Amino acid sequence: MQIEYEEHGDGIPLVLLHAFPLSRRMWEPQKKALERVKVRLILPDLRGFGETKSTADTNTMDEMAGDVADLLDRLEIEKAIIGGLSMGGYVTFALYRLDPGRFSGLILCDTACAADTDEKRENRFKLIKKIEGSGSQALIENMLPMLAGKYTKENNPELYADLEQRFAGTDPQAAIGALRGMAARNDSCDLLSEIDVPTLFIFGEEDALTDADMGRKMHSRVNGSELCLIRDAGHYSNLEQPEQFDQAIISFISRQ
Ligand code: MLT
């Protein structure tokens, strides 16, 4: 599938993959900050999100990874620093399994290498039923309170309201397709010890879904990797504390 994307700047190719149920628009704060470094920033919309339409029943992480590989082929990019946040991280792991030679670096944010537990899978199927009943509005009450950090809830009502709008605006079919895809994803923890490119982990300290301990564990299994914990941020660390987040990736990229 040919996915939509945007690109900015010249320099080291850097691909950032968005979280669920957002789109490439989630990288808006980073677009501005990354003007300060020499990067060719590539921001895809994964299947079903943003401008990439999909009516499939299931969109797997492997399919999304294949789309990103095809996009890199189209752009004639042999190697890139590739990173993703949460679902974007699951897709990054799937792409690493598919084609490790594509990577000149890895940025894994608020994500997990493990597949879903049975309980998580069940919860996804329950959420799918709710979306079938009441549309994407169901994403707001069932996910957002856990994703936004305490600091954001108490101090950044604008961001919270903006996320509510973005959740509500998600195509229900795309949300269902990705929820099924996430439920079916492979466990990627065996890849960690094989990673041999510079790797940065970024985790919001208040992330309740993919918590900082997960970040610490993955970091301890990737040789030479770095871990940056973002203060006063939950799951969407790049949106909740863009300055700290930007500084972490800019400092990482500047050293490559
Ligand atoms: C995301 O932020 O991409 C998703 O919430 C991840 C998930 O549900 O596992």
pLDDT digits (tens, 9 = 90+) for 109-124: 999 999 999 999 999 9
Residue type, 227: L
The answer, yes or no, to whether any atom of ligand 1 lies below 6 A from the CB of 182, is yes
DSSP symbols for 21-32: T--GGGGHHHHH
What pLDDT shows up at residue 193?
Answer: 98
CA 235 to ligand 1: nearest atom: 2
In sequence order, the 6+-apart residues with CB closer than 8 A to the CB of 120 are 183
Record the tokens describing residue 209, joined without a space: 């879904």
**Per-residue confidence band for 185, with pLDDT thresholds at 50, 70 and 90:** very high
What pLDDT shows up at residue 224?
Answer: 97
**Per-residue confidence band for 197, with pLDDT thresholds at 50, 70 and 90:** very high
Q: What is the mean pLDDT of residues 228-255?
A: 97
Please choose, from the candidates 19, 61, 45, 13, the residue with its C-alpha nearest in 3D space to the C-alpha of residue 167: 19
Distance 11 CA to ligand 1 centre (A): 30
**Residue length, the chain?**
256
The answer, yes or no, to whether any atom of ligand 1 lies below 6 A from the CB of 20, is yes
As a whole number, the mean pLDDT across the chain is 97
Ligand 1 pocket: which of 126, 209, 237, 239 to mutate (most atoms within 8 A of CB) = 209
The answer, yes or no, to whether any atom of ligand 1 lies below 6 A from the CB of 17, is no
Distance 49 CA to ligand 1 centre (A): 14
DSSP symbols for 107-152: EEES--SSPPPHHHHHHHHHHHHHHHHHTTHHHHHHHHHHHS-HHH
What pLDDT shows up at residue 167?
Answer: 98
In sequence order, the 6+-apart residues with CB closer than 8 A to the CB of 23 are 45, 49, 50, 51, 166
What pLDDT shows up at residue 17?
Answer: 99
The answer, yes or no, to whether any atom of ligand 1 lies below 6 A from the CB of 152, is no
**Per-residue confidence band for 177, with pLDDT thresholds at 50, 70 and 90:** very high
Instruction: Spell 70-80 as b/e; 16+ CB within 10 A means b.
Output: ebbeeeeeeeb
CA distance 13 to 78: 9
What pLDDT shows up at residue 234?
Answer: 98
**Per-residue confidence band for 180, with pLDDT thresholds at 50, 70 and 90:** very high
Record the tokens describing residue 61, joined without a space: 């992480």
Distance 34 CA to ligand 1 centre (A): 25
The answer, yes or no, to whether any atom of ligand 1 lies below 6 A from the CB of 109, is no
Atom 5 of ligand 1, nearest CA residue: 20
What pLDDT shows up at residue 202?
Answer: 98
The answer, yes or no, to whether any atom of ligand 1 lies below 6 A from the CB of 237, is no
What does pTM read for this prediction?
A: 0.98
CA 236 to ligand 1: nearest atom: 2
Distance 4 CA to ligand 1 centre (A): 21
CB 80 within 8 A of CB 14: yes
The answer, yes or no, to whether any atom of ligand 1 lies below 6 A from the CB of 90, is no
Nearest-10 Cα torsion for 220, 221, 223, 229: -40
Atom 4 of ligand 1, nearest CA residue: 20
Nearest-10 Cα torsion for 61, 64, 69, 74: 180
